[in-house]
A and B are shown apart, each in its own frame.
Chain A
Amino acid sequence: MRLPLLVAGLVAIATASMLADRRAQSEGTRDLPPWASPLLDLVVPLQKAIALPIDFVRHSWNGYIDLVDVGEENAQLEQRIHALEEENLQLREALVAGGRLARIAEMRADFEVPMLPAQLVGSDVSPFFRSVLVDRGRSQGVRSGMPVISEEGVVGLVTATSERASRTTLLLDRQTAIDGTVQRSRTRGIVRGRGSDVVEFEFVSRGADVAVGDVVITSGLDGVYPKGLRVGSVAAVAEADAGLLRAATLVPAVDFGRLEQAFVILRRGPSMELLYRTEGGDGEAQTAAAGSGPAK
């Protein structure tokens, strides 16, 4: 009699947890429950300790042993830097000529957002989800719904937080969707994770101009990610058929296999703030949302 009751109780707890978590996810208020938060906080230092020898071996391999193509790559990069410097110079000249450089410099200050460096300490324990654990949490100002980026581009979104740690769902995860734009042609579409090392860019077929090599950036229209962050580059485009939608395969800008450090943008997008204001969330979150203006 004891066993069926125990099983029924545990199944009820699991089901209730899933329902509550799903609801919290859709409301953007997914902070871990008080009893779970210390466990996650405990994991971070342990994983850092375990990661030390792993990172040491990896750094040693990448930095000292696996250097076969470095000379050639260095020469290519130098050429590329020269080309980019030249291009940069020409663009600056064009802006100065148009009298727009000073205005852009003024605007830039308005768009600068505080970013918090965070170390990735562990990957997802399930191969069917793509998320990472980072060593920054609520005590450092990290909240669910904050974008995470690296110097290469979009990494993902904070989806759960504890006091000193948080979990970031990566761009690669099947549950991720980002509004993106092809930088060259301004074709808009949705970037979706596929659970593999590439992502999918789905766009309306009619009038679209998407080609291999195109760079896709965030459009900012999803209200979560700031505009202009690099998402990836087009590796293949599906043949056009009678359907309304077409898909392209993107190689993410971020090399997730080598990613060790990222930056949490300490400002939720307008959509997330709106969710906090209208659909509940804790008092602290509501106050923070109400008091937040343009981040400086």
Chain B
Amino acid sequence: MKRVSALAGLAFAALVLQAAVARIVPPQWCPDLGLLVVIGLGLGMRKAATGVALAALVGYLSDLLSGSLLGQHMLLRMVAFAAARIGSRQLNLRGRAPLAIFAAGLSAGYGLALWAIVAFFARAAHPPLPAVGDFVAQAVVNGLLGPIVAPAVAWLSLTLGDEEGARLMRLEPRKFPA
């Protein structure tokens, strides 16, 4: 419970900070800290149920602080958590570069999915697709910060993991018998 509360508090603080910083940074260059926290949860949480509930909470908070539909970020943060969790099992995310590429790719996919949901719910003309430059900028900035924020969140979930809730990230490459 201590770990869950601490991580929820961290996510809330990250979103409040992000909303304040977004006033002075161009939107496309403002990092999506909520997404990076969720990636960290996907990499570090052992209990998937706790992780997905936290991801949904982070998503709902993001919805409150965004012009999106209520529930939109909530749904996509859960998908991002699942992607990060599966990614940490199937891919070797050792080192900064693989993690940066993973965060950048997930960030671009996330933006596209956000637009797709808005377009699906739009009753009249579809809203214009964000410029490629916006996707790229978001991917770059999240890719740069991903290797810092996500492992920090994963580390926090390990450090506070008094219960069996945290798991080690797969950092070592698999060893096969000779």
Contacts and interface: CB of A to CB of B under 8 A. Distances in A.
Interface stretch (B130-138, B154-162, B167-175): B130-138
A295 B74 CA distance: 40
Interface in A166-196: 167, 169, 173-175, 192, 194-196
Interface in A126-167: 126-131, 133, 159, 167
A51 interface: yes
A11 B75 contact: yes
Interface string B49-77: 10011001001111111111111111100
Given A128-B114, A194-B128, A10 B53 contact: yes
Nearest to B82: A7
B132 to A, nearest CB: 12
Contacts of A40: 64-65
Contacts of A22: 69, 121
Given A7-B52, A14-B56, A131 B20 contact: no
B106 interface: no
A18 to B, nearest CB: 4
A159 B67 contact: yes
Interface string A1-43: 0110011001101111110111001100000110010011001
B90 to A, nearest CB: 18
Interface string A113-124: 000000011111
B27 interface: yes
Nearest to A173: B67
B92 interface: no
A39 B121 CA distance: 26
Given A36-B60, A195-B130, 10 more contacts: A14-B75, A50-B17, A122-B20, A124-B19, A125-B15, A125-B19, A125-B65, A131-B67, A159-B67, A174-B128
The 10 A-B pairs of least Cβ separation, nearest first, read A17-B71, A131-B67, A129-B67, A122-B19, A123-B22, A174-B127, A14-B75, A50-B20, A14-B71, A127-B27
Interface of A: 2-3, 6-7, 10-11, 13-18, 20-22, 25-26, 32-33, 36, 39-40, 43, 46-47, 50-51, 54, 58, 120-131, 133, 159, 167, 169, 173-175, 192, 194-196
Interface of B: 15-24, 27-28, 30, 32-34, 48-49, 52-53, 56, 59-75, 78, 111, 114-115, 117-118, 121-123, 127-128, 130-131, 134, 137-138
